[in-house]
């Protein structure tokens, strides 16, 4: 099963760092390692074979933990799961535990240290960074299947939303229709608060749906995603209401060319910076690059924002199995903006677009 | 204006702790101190009068920060807001800064330390705990107005949901109807994933709405809240489908008596433990206390779970202006459960119920 192979990867990475065990408390990492979906959890993955991995949670989740985390020993604790996990490690004689200092508060570390014998306090907890989260960047076959399903649902929602994109409807009404359809179709939630940014608000890169009414003329940017079976989708399309100006059309075409050029630049072995530059150079030639104020994309999976980053000067190489967004945009302050975004699967030879909804100019 | 008075409170609390400034990065605290609602922010509140407070955010929020955080100097930084804030403090000659170690990761603290001169690294950052969050426990007049509005919207949603509570409808459909109506009415989001727990699932204290169908006979527990203008509401009602047994009615009456007794125990000066005991003692007399497996309530405001806790042995005294939930429940595993919850405003002489929807027995 997938989780077993994932734990082996984590053990191999932890062994290289010279720790006895990993303490994992970031919930997406917990889910990835053992399948548990509850809201309070800590997983201990021992590096040696003396102990089975354990999952600590509380009494609300006794049945669920045993069902979901079949390969693990389940420990039910009334207190903080991380603290109970530390006590368990100390009792088991483990002496060096890797933890993710980017997902552990200063206060939590202090409590963890207080939960082990005094002589271990200084040496027990070794920061190992986002070790598990980084392993999650590369998706296995099961995950790719789930991400395909989430992305496909996003596309169906886009195809089904046009009746709501009419002058006078509020942005919030459009977002609500999207979300209602998403949940009826099985999404547990949206990946993030939906962006519906119309008219001059389309010039806001993060224009969350507001009470603004869609204009009779102007762009409407829709940036949204669903969570389906734990995995996030993410896509953006920009459509136009009414007759467009030549400038609006020119900007749209430039953003589309930048987006398609960046998608074409994706394959295993290129860097995040290469892909960003592919998009940025198109907009530079069109003299629009100064309005492209964010990076080109990011990884996506159990979390809506994961690594790798696709941004200027990023030297991280893409690898087959990564799923990333490609989302250049141009935002002319106070006037209008355009963004086009796909979610793509990195392969050895290129990119497979998981969100194949049309990117052609749409005028409603 | 409210935020100015709030910053004065924070300065007074910080001065007592002997720090030059507070670094605030927890977003609800940021919003409370200055009104800014963006997703990336750090606020520095200097204790002395040499500097104005500053708000650091990024280029996405330039206009919004100036509009929302009118009293502050706005600093736009392309990097982490907290790091930029630390650099600003070092340049300004501030030497001891209080930070919330419960909302700062180990990695973030390390980066903060690296952002100030080497000689300040060890002494600059003083853990002051949830100083600002604790000030937020007591709501000012503006906040109480917003919480009244949020709670009132919750009540209207409850009154309007009965047509959806029919045998054969799924819990998820009921939750979706609630959420759809909430957003149409102006809620930005729900305070938490709505709980709709029916039949035997009503015995799960945290039974998030599932694909289970409402039975022709049995309880349905609805626990939900909205976020309106930043403030959360929270309420629970339990209704019955079809003919109830004498035992079900007896449990309902006991929970209702426990809830009303606890509400009656609320006033400035009593402890969280006193209120918890008021509810628990009623259930003890009814020999149901072993099924009351959680605490009686919690503070609510910009966050759905704030202090104070209303739980056994809590010695924290309630103060006028706190808004807390009173939500005892009885959960008989595998059979049924009942919870009744109001949001109440603590006053000098008692409690004002902000969620006055009926708590009488409802049989549908």
pLDDT tops 70 at residue B200:
yes
Q: Is A205 on the interface with B (CB under 8 A)?
A: yes
Pairwise CB contact (< 8 Å): A105 & B110: no
Residue of B nearest to A175 (CA): B183
Distances (CA, A) of A266 to A156, A305, A343: 25, 18, 12
Write down the pLDDT at residue A59.
Answer: 83
* CA–CA dist A344, A325 (Å, integer): 6
Pairwise CB contact (< 8 Å): A293 & B59: yes
Alpha carbon of residue B26 to chain centroid: 14
Phi, psi of B75 (to 5 degrees): -115, 125
| Mean pLDDT calculated for residue range A220-245 | 98
Contact residues, chain B, for A105 at CB < 8 Å: 101-106
Write down the pLDDT at residue B350.
Answer: 97
Contact residues, chain A, for B188 at CB < 8 Å: 193
Q: Which one of B39, B105, B180 has the shortest CB-CB distance to A103?
A: B105
| Mean pLDDT calculated for residue range B1-25 | 94
Q: Which one of B60, B106, B293 has the shortest CB-CB distance to A127?
A: B106
pLDDT tops 90 at residue B1:
no
Phi, psi of A181 (to 5 degrees): -65, -40
Min Cα separation B32/chain A (Å): 21
Write down the pLDDT at residue B205.
Answer: 87
Per-residue pLDDT reduced to its tens digit, A40-55: 999 999 998 888 999 9
Write down the pLDDT at residue A1.
Answer: 54
Per-residue pLDDT reduced to its tens digit, A162-183: 999 999 999 999 999 999 999 9
Q: Which one of B59, B183, B293 has the shortest CB-CB distance to A176?
A: B183
Residue of B nearest to A193 (CA): B189
Distances (CA, A) of B39 to B33, B36, B93, B101, B280: 15, 9, 28, 20, 40
Contact residues, chain A, for B179 at CB < 8 Å: 183
The enclosing H or E element of A29 equals helix A27-34
Per-residue pLDDT reduced to its tens digit, A78-95: 879 999 999 999 999 999
* CA–CA dist B178, A278 (Å, integer): 45
Per-residue pLDDT reduced to its tens digit, B97-146: 999 999 999 999 999 999 999 999 999 999 999 999 999 999 999 999 99
Q: Is A60 on the interface with B (CB under 8 A)?
A: yes
Could you tell me where the beta strands, DSSP code E, fall in B152-232? 189-190, 195-198, 218-224, 226-228, 231-232
Distances (CA, A) of B266 to A25, B298, B350, B355: 37, 13, 5, 15
Write down the pLDDT at residue B274.
Answer: 98
Contact residues, chain A, for B60 at CB < 8 Å: 204-206, 293-294
| Mean pLDDT calculated for residue range B290-295 | 94
Write down the pLDDT at residue A320.
Answer: 98
Q: Which one of A60, A104, A204 has the shortest CB-CB distance to B106?
A: A104
Domain boundaries, chain A: 3-134, 141-353
Residue of B nearest to A182 (CA): B176
Residue of B nearest to A181 (CA): B176
Write down the pLDDT at residue A206.
Answer: 83
Min Cα separation B244/chain A (Å): 26
Contact residues, chain A, for B129 at CB < 8 Å: 107
Q: Which one of B101, B176, B189 has the shortest CB-CB distance to A107?
A: B101
Write down the pLDDT at residue B207.
Answer: 85
Write down the pLDDT at residue A291.
Answer: 96
* pLDDT grade for A105, boundaries at 50, 70 and 90: very high
CATH number, domain A141-353: 3.90.230.10
The chain-wide mean pLDDT, for chain A, equals 96
* pLDDT grade for A327, boundaries at 50, 70 and 90: very high
Write down the pLDDT at residue A62.
Answer: 87
Contact residues, chain B, for A312 at CB < 8 Å: none
Contact residues, chain B, for A291 at CB < 8 Å: none
Right CATH for A3-134 from 3.20.20.300, 3.40.350.10, 3.90.1150.10, 3.10.20.30: 3.40.350.10
In the β-sheet with A42-46, what is the strand arrangement from edge to edge? Answer: A73-76, A54-57, A42-46, A21-24, A97-99, A125-127
Residue of A nearest to B126 (CA): A106
Per-residue pLDDT reduced to its tens digit, A235-293: 999 999 999 999 999 999 999 999 999 999 999 999 999 999 999 999 999 999 999 99
Q: Is A204 on the interface with B (CB under 8 A)?
A: yes
Tokens representing B162 are 């009965």
Most A CBs within 10 Å, among B105, B125, B128, B170, to test the A interface: B105
Q: What is the ipTM of this complex?
A: 0.89
* pLDDT grade for A149, boundaries at 50, 70 and 90: very high
| Mean pLDDT calculated for residue range B6-30 | 97
Count of C-beta atoms within a 10 Å radius of residue B80: 18
Min Cα separation A63/chain B (Å): 11
DSSP A209: -
Pairwise CB contact (< 8 Å): B105 & A107: no
Min Cα separation A130/chain B (Å): 11
Which A positions 103-142 lie with beta carbon below 8 A of chain B?
A: 103-110, 127, 129
Most B CBs within 10 Å, among A105, A113, A124, A175, to test the B interface: A105
Q: Residue B175's closest CA among A176, A307, A180, A199?
A: A180
């Amino acid at each position: 099963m997938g989780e077993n192979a994932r734990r082996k990867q984590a053990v191999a990475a932890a062994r290289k760092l010279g720790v006895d065990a990993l303490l994992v408390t970031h919930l997406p990492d917990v889910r990835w390692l053992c399948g548990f979906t509850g809201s309070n959890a800590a997983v201990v993955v021992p590096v040696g074979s003396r102990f089975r991995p354990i999952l600590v949670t509380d009494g609300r989740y006794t049945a669920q933990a045993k069902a979901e985390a079949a390969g693990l020993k389940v420990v039910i604790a009334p207190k903080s799961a991380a603290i109970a996990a530390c006590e368990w490690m100390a009792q088991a004689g483990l002496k060096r535990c890797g933890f993710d200092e980017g997902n552990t508060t200063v206060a939590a570390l202090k409590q963890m240290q207080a939960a082990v014998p005094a002589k271990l306090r200084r040496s027990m907890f070794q920061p190992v960074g986002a070790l598990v989260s980084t392993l999650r960047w590369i998706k296995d076959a099961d995950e790719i299947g789930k991400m395909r399903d989430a992305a496909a649902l996003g596309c169906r929602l886009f195809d089904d939303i046009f009746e709501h994109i009419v002058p006078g409807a509020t942005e919030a009404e459009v977002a609500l229709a999207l979300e209602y359809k998403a949940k009826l179709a099985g999404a547990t939630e949206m990946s993030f608060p939906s962006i519906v940014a119309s008219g001059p608000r389309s010039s806001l890169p993060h224009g969350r749906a507001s009470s603004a009414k869609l204009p009779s003329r102007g762009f409407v940017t829709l940036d949204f995603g669903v969570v389906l079976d734990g995995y996030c989708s993410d896509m953006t399309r920009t459509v136009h209401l009414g007759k467009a100006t030549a400038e609006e059309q020119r900007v749209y075409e430039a953003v589309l060319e930048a987006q398609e050029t960046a998608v074409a630049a994706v394959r295993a072995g290129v860097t995040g910076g290469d892909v960003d530059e592919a998009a940025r150079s198109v907009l530079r030639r069109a003299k629009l690059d100064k309005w492209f104020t964010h990076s080109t994309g990011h990884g996506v999976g159990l979390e809506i924002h994961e690594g790798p980053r696709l941004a200027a000067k990023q030297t991280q190489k893409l690898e087959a199995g990564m799923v990333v967004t490609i989302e250049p945009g141009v935002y002319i302050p106070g006037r209008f903006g355009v963004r086009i975004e796909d979610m793509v699967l990195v392969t050895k030879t290129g990119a497979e677009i998981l969100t194949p909804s049309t990117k052609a100019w749409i005028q409603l």
